[in-house]
Structure 1
Amino acid sequence: MSGTKGKTNKLLLAEFKKGNKKAYRKLFELFWEPMFIRAKSIVLNEDVAKDIVQEIWINLWQKRANLNIIHFEAYIFRSVKYGCFKYLRDNKLNAVHLQVLESLELGRPARVENQHNLEQTQFIIEKSLTELSPRCQQIFRLSRMEAASNEEIAKRLGISKRSVENQMSIALKSIRQNLRLAQSSLTALITFIANL
């Protein structure tokens, strides 16, 4: 199925680059929701997340002729990440945003340490998932690892779209909470060591 999905996305992308509005609309329908969920999980604000994703889609349309996109899905999710980081950089940050940015160590050149941070974050996410119900885990994995939309997940599992949204909300809340706990523990440890 993923092979067919990839071919469909490539065909839609080719048509979109030619200015086909129907192809653009179809790509939008396929990817808007997962992009929004990803943005919301980073900026922690629904309206801001919507604005970031909308801006990405406007830029895609305006620059379509000059874009050299090979993997559309990877491209748009990277755009979401950069859009969120740009927003966080340019606006007043709350304590949670600062912790997230500090944990990413964006300015440091030490790749080994960044790799460690990534592995630690992935470990925390996996640990968070084990604390959730099997259905909640399944929905999160379908959404995040297979990039399935809420509608696709609902159809596949025979549940309502609202149930999918609720389960995603529970999963994201649990992951954010565990990431915050890990970050505050690390900050406390660094502070303690610095004061020795």
Structure 2
Amino acid sequence: MSVTEPKTNKLLLTEFKKGNKKAFRKLFELFWEPMFINAKSIVLDEDIAKDIVQDIWLNLWQKRENWDIKNFEAYIFRSVSYGCFKYLRDNKLKTTHLQVIDSLELLSESNVENQHNLDQTRFIIEKSLTELPPRCQQIFRLSRMEAASNEEIAQRLGISKRSVENQMSIALKSIRQNLRVAQSSLTSLFILILLL
């Protein structure tokens, strides 16, 4: 579950990249605690977890103008995992650390591929939505992301149920078409690679 709304994140990240210290502080306040909890669960030491998270934020600030992060939340949590594992690699492991490492479920290649496919599908859906008129986007999000019924959406927006159904049909058609195009491009790329 996302810590903040995507639009808020995007605005904060834009301002942060420009060097806005208030935006940096707000991002820090939003994400520091979950990052710290994650790090502490891996290294089993509060001080070390704090140091790892602090280093990540320091690095983010120093390199803010040069990075091109697509998904900030995923990036920082990957950074936490990487920082923790780097610490564990470089320091003598305690028995408790070895038990934690043994208990971690490592992603198999198929799980990584499935996650990549899921991320790609989400990206295509989001891209498809941005190509739609605002009202159509709003109706789709209410229906699919807030699980509102067509009747609830119609009442909320002051339009007919039929209008909601038409807008949903347009949104789904656009998404399906973009998914087909992406699949077709992927298949063509795969065939091209095989022929090389």
TM-score (norm 2): 0.52
Q: Distance in 1 between matches of 2:86 and 2:13?
A: 26
- 1:33 is matched with which residue? 33
Question: Rg larger in 1 or in 2?
Answer: 2
Q: Is the 8 A contact 1:36 1:50 kept in 2?
A: yes
Letter in 2 for 1:111: E
Q: Matched residue pairs, number? A: 113
> How many Å apart are 1:95 and its aligned residue?
1.3
Letter in 1 for 2:29: E
1:16-55 correspondence to structure 2 within 5 Å: 16-55=16-55
Q: Is the 8 A contact 1:104 1:114 kept in 2?
A: no
DSSP 3-state at the match of 1:99 = helix
Q: Distance in 2 between matches of 1:45 and 1:3?
A: 24
Q: Is the 8 A contact 1:13 1:23 kept in 2?
A: yes
Q: Distance in 2 between matches of 1:114 and 1:75?
A: 16
Q: Distance in 2 between matches of 1:46 and 1:4?
A: 25
Q: Is the 8 A contact 2:3 2:31 kept in 1?
A: no
Deviations 1:46-74 (A, max 9, x none): 00000000000000000001111111111
Q: Is the 8 A contact 1:56 1:79 kept in 2?
A: yes
Q: Is the 8 A contact 1:36 1:53 kept in 2?
A: yes
> How many Å apart are 1:5 and its aligned residue?
1.0
In structure 2, do the counterparts of structure 1 residues 27 and 99 end up closer, same or farther at CA, with 3 Å as the change threshold? same
Q: Is the 8 A contact 1:16 1:64 kept in 2?
A: yes
Letter in 1 for 2:41: S
Tell me if 1:13 matches 2:8.
Answer: no
1:122-137 correspondence to structure 2 within 5 Å: none
Q: Distance in 1 between matches of 2:23 and 2:12?
A: 5
> How many Å apart are 1:104 and its aligned residue?
4.7
Q: Distance in 1 between matches of 2:112 and 2:96?
A: 19
Q: Distance in 2 between matches of 1:103 and 1:7?
A: 36
Q: RMSD over aligned Cα, in angstroms?
A: 2.9
DSSP 3-state at the match of 2:19 = coil
More relative contact order, 1 or 2 (CA 8 Å, 6+ apart) = 1
DSSP 3-state at the match of 1:65 = coil
Q: Is the 8 A contact 2:52 2:80 kept in 1?
A: yes
Q: Distance in 2 between matches of 1:26 and 1:55?
A: 17
Instruction: Among all aligned residue pairs of Structure 1 and Structure 2, give the percentage whose two residues are the same amino acid.
Output: 75
Tell me if 1:111 matches 2:109.
Answer: yes
In structure 2, do the counterparts of structure 1 residues 53 and 110 end up closer, same or farther at CA, with 3 Å as the change threshold? closer
- 2:76 is matched with which residue? 76
Structure 1: which 5+ residue stretches go unaligned? Answer: 116-196
TM-score (norm 1): 0.52
Q: Distance in 2 between matches of 1:52 and 1:3?
A: 20
> How many Å apart are 1:96 and its aligned residue?
2.1
Letter in 2 for 1:76: I
Q: Is the 8 A contact 2:19 2:64 kept in 1?
A: yes
> How many Å apart are 1:102 and its aligned residue?
4.0
Q: Distance in 2 between matches of 1:5 and 1:58?
A: 24
